[in-house]
Amino acid sequence: MLGFYGGSFDPPHIGHSQCVVNAAKEINLNSVALLPCAQSPLKALTATPQQHRLAMLNLVCDDSNKKQKNVTLNLDETELNLPRPSFTVNTLKHLRKKYGTNSSLCFLLGEDSLYTLYKWKEWQTITNYCHLVVMRREGNYLRDNIEFNQWLNARLIDDVNTLHNTPNGHIYLCNSSLVTISSSAIRQMIAEQPESARNWLPESVAKYIFKHTLYTSE
């Protein structure tokens, strides 16, 4: 079973790595590939050049892999090499073609992303290519899209073994939760109170950010 977690990672932080590791442990997944996107169609332009985000992601992976040995994090640049903007469905099609029809592919995402999934390109087809593994996140999410609710309920499972034994098609809600911090909040901290941001960043990432004076003009 293969795991993937996508995002802009601008910057990547401890919340990203801790939540992904916890979710992976819950579903008995040994490794997760972090998929930085070039440009999300639902977000403003990323603030930071690609080479910096990749360097910081490598540092986050190294930090996590040194601190725990249960789940290996690694960097996957697949989405950066696909046409822009970055549509998740296109990335998943590419991954499915790469790994074949029989491999179990799990795409990790936050609960906030799940409940806006109906805004994504070809959202109804997402589970044709993977399972969705959802990390819970505090918040009140509008659930008034009838078509989406029916789609979701038809795919929900609570048995981890199903993820391992089938290649795609299901949605699993993790017991583990996302850390309630966002990259945008960390960028604001760096601009206004730089030292406070260190609580949310591996030391190596904090040093990199300050060395290259990233996010100082948010």
The pLDDT of residue 41 is: 61
Query: What would the pLDDT profile of 121-161 be if each residue is shown by its tens digit?
Result: 999 999 999 999 999 887 666 678 899 999 999 999 999 99
Give the per-residue pLDDT at 139: 67
| Beta carbons of 3 and 29 less than 8 angstroms apart | yes
Per-residue model confidence (pLDDT) at position 143: 76
Confidence at 10, pLDDT banded by 50, 70, 90? very high
Per-residue pLDDT band for 218 (boundaries 50, 70, 90) equals: low
pLDDT grade for 23, boundaries at 50, 70 and 90: very high
CA distance 166 to 45: 36
pLDDT of residue 57 exceeding 70, the answer is yes
Q: What pTM, to 2 d.p., does this model score?
A: 0.93
Residues 125 and 146: their CA atoms lie apart, in Å, by 17
Q: Name the more confident of 141 and 49.
A: 49
Residue 212 scores a pLDDT above 70: yes
- The two three-digit tokens of residue 73, written as one number: 């994090």
- Domains of the chain plus CATH, in order, are 2-179 (3.40.50.620)
DSSP the chain: -EEEEEE--SS--HHHHHHHHHHHHHTT-SEEEEEE-S--TTSPPPSS-HHHHHHHHHHHHHHHHHH-SSSEEEE--GGGGSPSS--HHHHHHHHHHHH-SSS-EEEEEEHHHHTTGGGSTTGGGGGGT-EEEEEE-SS------HHHHHHHHTTEE--HHHHHHSSS--EEEEEEE--S--HHHHHHHHHH-HHHHGGGS-HHHHHHHHHTTTTTT-
| Mean pLDDT across the chain | 92
pLDDT greater than 70 at residue 39? no
| Confidence at residue 53, expressed as pLDDT on a 0 to 100 scale | 96
Give the residue, 2 or 45, on which the prediction is more confident. Answer: 2
